[in-house]
Structure 1
């Protein structure tokens, strides 16, 4: 069988969630949208269910997958409902929904649920993607707060530049949010992963950790962040061939790498069809049998090549780690000029193997 696989440490996932809740000081929505950022939504939710205050997903399909798997924690639809006819499903499955657009507010007002609904009302504090304007938000907050069809309302917004520690835009957005909720005595939610890790002065009742749950940092490699995250995924494969390359010979498509001297080249069963970056440059770090080395040549659909000249014992069957504790997904993303979000969410055709948690307090 093809040896490409992702090892998922569910204990590390739990530790990262508990850190997020500790940093937030209140309750935390564990964001498991996009198949838990490529880690497997059902297994991750099952591991977090005993401790998670709620889960966050993008859409109702993701919520129903968790419900069908037996997850009975609160589940928040972060984009809200995309069609009004989803409201009966939200009602039937006890889902929480964001309301972020005027048409959603109208549809919600026109719907009579079996039991009162839990709503998170979203303010556009400056990101200008989803959310009500401050004027619309204030009116909607008052209307929903006195509507008997609504069980509770949480005021929320989303940060656009929290991963930029030298930007004052997060403080500007927070000021807009504070002004819009000044007369609201209900719960609030403002902090995402970068806000939790890098902006301790910004607080809210509910926090929404996403990327940090999976042990990856949203910040540049040299950012002064004191918190230690536990990598959850180790992406690995094995060498399936070894080649001796004379000086002056090229390897791979486009002859992008030419051997400056005689080299041993290892061929790894991992390519861009698995989610490894196609444009990873020569020199992207990997481990072979635990020893650091580098990629050489262009990444192809099913394979990539690595330099094993200095690794005398490396041979067919040697284990190759593409990212994990070392090198980290954040480091690989930086070198490949992408983000750890894209790396993790782009994983496909790779079997996930899960390590169950031992005990996390």
Structure 2
């Protein structure tokens, strides 16, 4: 028998969350962002839930090809663009739209001499200071791209640095000023801007984490009123129970010491499954639908939970590590990270079922 741990992917939740995005950005087209293998969910698993999206955006060329081979006929956007002339040829073959964030990428496209013009998203560095042309250089970059052989339609693009924490207006003003005399559709909004900053929606929004039920800020309370649904549940079982007394310790480094008599449940899930090793004692978890907490350090293949609130729990009891009841953002916050990372870190050894 395999270990009882399993991940469940909820395609109905993805459909619901896409509907929420639509309700927030009613006048915009929607890129469904599926980078990092659909945030760890598996592109093939969630692909059927994205039919209402206007396009799919991702990072890896191989993933873009997979999406086309699955039958996707609508636009596909490579968010970091192309890196070799071979990439340009693949983009042409599969009808991909590509980001262009530097002159070298534009020159790659021109040098490859595509028979069909390749549509691009010309990226501005409006304050993130990662990729893109500065606002001062952007009009000239657009001029060079608009007259370049092999380049088709141009969409104006930027990315917000702190839409999950504060205003986007400072970047929006830079973008609007630099593009005031430049025609073409615009795309700026990530998940946070899509749900919290309607003034930034423009022609295309690019939601990612919210499609999977996660919070852009990393805090579940921030999306409580948006009514997103968890698209991934990580579930396992109790495989051992120990009764301990005051002063007894649990796990490596004796990191947890019991204050009194209690029962400890051992769960078949550890950091080799993708559960965060740095999850602190007190990280939320549920046993047979009852909320409780982890205790002690997370091991490679196991972790331990406090069964005090769950007097009927026993070997075989169901444990939700994260999902609809245990918010992935709460687990992540207790572990010093964000829900994005936990989704992407789901280990290959964990069986996946599309629910």
TM-score (norm 1): 0.93
User: How many angstroms apart in 2 are the aligned matches of 1:82 and 1:269?
Assistant: 42
Aligned pairs for 1:2-151 (under 5 A) are: 2-24=3-25, 25-48=27-50, 50-147=51-148, 149-151=150-152
Aligned with 1:353: secondary structure? Answer: strand
Q: Decide whether aligned partners of structure 1 residues 23 and 40 sit closer, same or farther in structure 2, where only a CA change above 3 A counts.
A: same
Offset of residue 301 of structure 1:
0.6
CA distance in 1, matches of 2:153, 2:249: 64
Cα deviations across residues 174-202 of structure 1 (Å, max 9, x unaligned)?
A: 11111122112211000000111221222
Structure 2: gaps of 5 or more residues: none
Quickly say closer, same or farther: Cα 1:288–1:216, change in 2 above 3 A: same
Cα deviation, residue 80, structure 1: 0.4
Q: 1:1-361 to 2 correspondence within 5 Å?
A: 1-24=2-25, 25-48=27-50, 50-147=51-148, 149-165=150-166, 168=167, 170-219=168-217, 220-223=219-222, 226-348=225-347, 349-355=349-355
| Aligned equivalents of 2:138, 2:157: Cα separation in 1 | 10
How far the C-alpha of 1:153 sits from its partner, in A, is 0.8
The separation in 2 between residues aligned to 1:145 and 1:21, in whole angstroms, is: 31
**Structure 1 residue runs of 4 or more that deviate by more than 6 Å after TM superposition:** none
The alpha carbon displacement at 1:134 in A equals: 2.1
In structure 2, C-alpha distance between the alignment counterparts of 1:352 and 1:55, rounded to whole Å: 22
RMSD in angstroms over aligned alpha carbons?
A: 1.6
Provide Cα deviations, 1:219-240, integer angstroms capped at 9, x if missing partner. Answer: 2345487422111111111111
Q: Distance between the aligned counterparts of 2:3 and 2:311, measured in 1?
A: 24
* Deviation of the 1:291 alpha carbon: 0.7
Q: What's the CA shift for 1:148?
A: 5.7
CA distance in 1, matches of 2:41, 2:19: 18
Deviations 1:236-270 (A, max 9, x none): 11111111112211111000001111111111011
Deviation at residue 136 of structure 1 after TM alignment: 3.0
**Distance in 2, Cα, partners of 1:113 & 1:263:** 69
From the superposition, tell whether residues 284 and 275 of structure 1 become closer, same or farther in structure 2 (CA, over 3 Å). Answer: same
Query: Which whole-Å CA distance do the structure 1 matches of 2:220 and 2:7 have between them?
Result: 23
Give structure 1 stretches of 5+ with no counterpart: 356-361
1:26-79 deviations in Å (ceiling 9; x for gaps): 10110001011111112212321x212111111212212222333333211001
Q: Is the 8 A contact 1:21 1:207 kept in 2?
A: no
Counterpart CA distance in 1 for 2:222 and 2:24 is 18
What is the TM-score of this pair, normalised by structure 2?
0.94
Return closer, same or farther for 1:135/1:109 CA change in 2, 3 Å cut-off: farther
